[in-house]
Structure 1
Amino acid sequence: MKKKTNAMYFSATDTTKKIVSRIAEKISENLDKPSAVNVIDFTLPDVRKEPVSFTKEDIVVVGVPVYAGRVPNVLLKYLNSVKGNDALAIPVVVYGNRNYDDALIELRDILELNGFKIVAGGAFIGEHSFSKMLAKDRPDEKDMDIASDFAIRIYKKITTQDNFQILNVKGNTPYRKYYMPKNKDDSPVDIRKVTPKTNSNCTDCKLCADVCPMGSIDREDVSKLNGICIKCGACIKKCPSQAKFYDDADYLRHKYELEIDFAARSEPELFV
């Protein structure tokens, strides 16, 4: 089977990267003439300026994190610019153990509208971007084994079927509104404008500016933001000095509630 396998993902803290890469690699290993997986990592802003187009000879595993139960709205313009041209696609969403709500069905719809043929889809779990406790160290070995088995099922499907019907996945249409946390009075709170702070541990290594997917952290003064913060957790989790943190009361309350209410392990959900 002469196909080229592609791994395409947004992954600020590398959880989505791990899942998408494993699925793409295992599919590629089973092809008649396996080749290196083509990687399109669109986490950083400059990559999202480049046009991307596929052909019917491509298999594309497309992965994004779940933000507030949906595909991150900051990625919609880029995702809607990608041209499928009858390439086979596997939409994958990764969430922090709360719920993926309508993210998978939304990503499926985006890819279908862009000319992809959807052959499978999956929702996996990764360590929550807000927390080092919620879904700690996931995807773990069990998750990766599930991703490998998923890839084998996908390979069998694409080698035994010629026509792919609309793939049914869990979710609602129209999509639900973005999930919002609530305060102690049970009223919705908006944490979109919450930004990370920088403490005296900072060594000015610039790593936070390098990994910010919005290019918002000022390289001359890393305590400043020149753009929006999407709460991806990259600057906090990747800082070697633990110099970045949030101190907003509503944000911290929400983080704590997530850690308590969704401590029970969720498992991946697959659709083939």
Structure 2
Amino acid sequence: MNKTINAMYFSATDTTKKVVLEVASEILKNSANEKDIKTIDFTLPSKREVEVSFTKDDIVVIGVPVYAGRVPNKLVDYLNTIKGNGALAVCIVVYGNRDYDDALIELKDIMESDGFKVISGGSFIGEHSFSKILAKNRPDKKDLTIAKRFGDKIYKKITTGNILGNVKVKGNKPYRKHYIPKDKKGHSSDIRKVIPKTNSNCINCKLCAKVCPMGSIDYDDVSKLNGICIKCGACIKKCPTHAKYFDDEKYLMHKKELEEKYSNVRNEPELFI
């Protein structure tokens, strides 16, 4: 199989990255292709300013996190600019153990509208962006073993020429509305404008500003935001001194609800080939 294998992902806390690279690496390993995997990490804003185009000689393993049961709103415009030109695509979504709802079918639809031929799709679980205990340390060894097997099955599908049919993935059409948390009285709880705070542990290392996928954290004063916060968890989970945190009551209530409801449940990856 003489195709270029591409690993393409948005991964603020590296969970999606791990799954995508595992799947892509297994396809490459099976193919005995001397080419290296081409990595396209579009997590940072500057990377989403670069035009990306493929050909029918490419295989693209693309992964995004699930936000509120859907492909993140702030990625849709960028994803719609990618040019597939007949390339094969594997769609992967990673969610924090609640549900991926319609994210996978939405990603598949976007890729197909971009001119890709989607040959398989999968949902995997990663540590929730809000929490350090919900789906803790996932994807774990078991998840990555499944990702390897997935890559093996994809390779076999390609090399047997069984890529003519339209792969079916789980999800609703029309898509369901984004998942909205509720407060104790059952009212909708809007946390979109919630922003992280900075405590006295901050050593001004600037790491949070460098890893923010929206480019919103002010480089000169990291306690300030110059744009939106998508609650990806990058600044909090990657801070070496634990200086970043959320204190909004609605956010914390939703975080607690998720942890209480889903921490003792182990959802497993779902594969569609």
Q: Same fold (TM over 0.5)?
A: yes
Following TM superposition, by how much is the alpha carbon of 1:94 offset from its aligned partner in structure 2, in angstroms? 0.1
C-alpha contact (below 8 Å) 1:121/1:271 kept by paired residues: yes
Which residue identity does 2:261 align to in structure 1?
A: D
- What pairs up with 1:52-63 in 2 under 5 angstroms? 52-63=52-63
CA distance in structure 1 between the aligned counterparts of 2:176 and 2:203, rounded to whole angstroms: 42
Query: Deviations for 1:80-126, whole angstroms, at most 9, x for unmatched residues?
Result: 00000010000000000000000000000000011000111000000
Structure 1 position 270 matched with structure 2 position 271: yes
Equivalent position SS for 1:121:
strand
Per the alignment, residue 155 of structure 1 pairs with 155
Per the alignment, residue 176 of structure 1 pairs with 176
C-alpha contact (below 8 Å) 1:84/1:115 kept by paired residues: yes
Query: Deviations for 1:57-94, whole angstroms, at most 9, x for unmatched residues?
Result: 00000000000000001000100000000100000000
Runs of 4+ more than 6 Å apart: none
CA distance in structure 2 between the aligned counterparts of 1:23 and 1:168, rounded to whole angstroms: 19
Per the alignment, residue 118 of structure 2 pairs with 118
Following TM superposition, by how much is the alpha carbon of 1:197 offset from its aligned partner in structure 2, in angstroms? 0.2
Per the alignment, residue 129 of structure 1 pairs with 129
CA distance in structure 2 between the aligned counterparts of 1:240 and 1:38, rounded to whole angstroms: 30
- What pairs up with 1:1-272 in 2 under 5 angstroms? 1-161=1-161, 163-263=163-263, 264-272=265-273
Which residue identity does 2:176 align to in structure 1?
A: R
Following TM superposition, by how much is the alpha carbon of 1:28 offset from its aligned partner in structure 2, in angstroms? 0.8
- % same residue: 66
CA distance in structure 1 between the aligned counterparts of 2:64 and 2:187, rounded to whole angstroms: 29
The alignment covers a number of residue pairs equal to 272
Following TM superposition, by how much is the alpha carbon of 1:165 offset from its aligned partner in structure 2, in angstroms? 1.8
Which residue identity does 2:194 align to in structure 1?
A: V
Contiguous gaps of at least 5 residues in structure 1: none
Contiguous gaps of at least 5 residues in structure 2: none
CA distance in structure 1 between the aligned counterparts of 2:97 and 2:217, rounded to whole angstroms: 28
Give the structure-1-normalised TM-score: 0.99
CA distance in structure 2 between the aligned counterparts of 1:178 and 1:76, rounded to whole angstroms: 14
Question: What RMSD in Å do the two structures reach over aligned CA positions?
Answer: 0.7
CA distance in structure 2 between the aligned counterparts of 1:153 and 1:112, rounded to whole angstroms: 21
